[in-house]
Amino acid sequence: MTRTHATTGDTELRHMRRALHLALEAEAGGNLPVGAVVALGGEVVAEAGSAVLLPFYHPGRHAETEALARVPASLWPRSREMTVYTTLEPCMMCAGALLLHGVGRVVFGALDPLGGAGEMLARLPAYYEGGAGAPEWIGPVMPELCDPLFRRVLAGFDALPCGKSNF
Ligand SMILES: [Zn+2]
């Protein structure tokens, strides 16, 4: 696993801005403000916002898993070339999904020091020893815009059945 703070190029910033737009769109629709874009060869091949709260409560419908589910199946043989852009550092579930889908890179806007899976990727099961096969983990690349979204996600998440208020 590599964790870097590399600056992204124009195309990457465009994808991040799209993810941000999807996050705000999700929030306007009553969901948590997280957005994700899957890009291949510089083009967007799938995108989604969080759908945890609406149209009905479903704790597994994170922006990243929603976007992965929308990738055309014919493109999966090229998963190593894919980058997932997301407004928030992926959680354990999404990091697991990204790893098992063979996604090559993850670029995230805001660091999640409470639930982000970056630390987990440093201690993977034996098959992935040393981070082998794990996506390159790049971020936070847009904290000034995405940190406020993270704070709103956290405020909404704590009260959910899967959140801290119900531990
Ligand atoms: Zn997640």
CA of residue 107 to ligand 1 center, whole Å: 14
Say how many Å lie between the CA of residue 88 and the centre of ligand 1.
Answer: 9
Return the DSSP state at 28: H
CA–CA distance, 52 with 58 (Å, rounded to integer): 5
Instruction: For the chain, 167 residues long, give each residue's pLDDT as a single digit of tens.
Output: 445 555 568 899 999 999 999 999 999 999 999 999 999 999 999 999 999 999 999 999 999 999 999 999 999 999 999 999 999 999 999 999 999 999 999 999 999 999 999 989 889 999 998 889 999 999 999 999 999 999 999 999 998 999 988 89
At 53, give phi and psi (nearest 5°). Answer: -90, -40
The dihedral through the CA atoms of 136, 6, 24, 91 has a sign that is: positive
Whether the pTM exceeds 0.85: the reply is: yes
- Strands of 14-164 (E only): list them: 35-40, 43-49, 82-88, 105-110, 136-138
Instruction: Name the residues around ion ligand 1, CB cutoff 5 A.
Output: 62, 91, 93-94
Give me the active site residues, please: 64
Q: Tell me how crowded residue 23 is: count the other CB atoms within 10 A of its CB.
A: 29
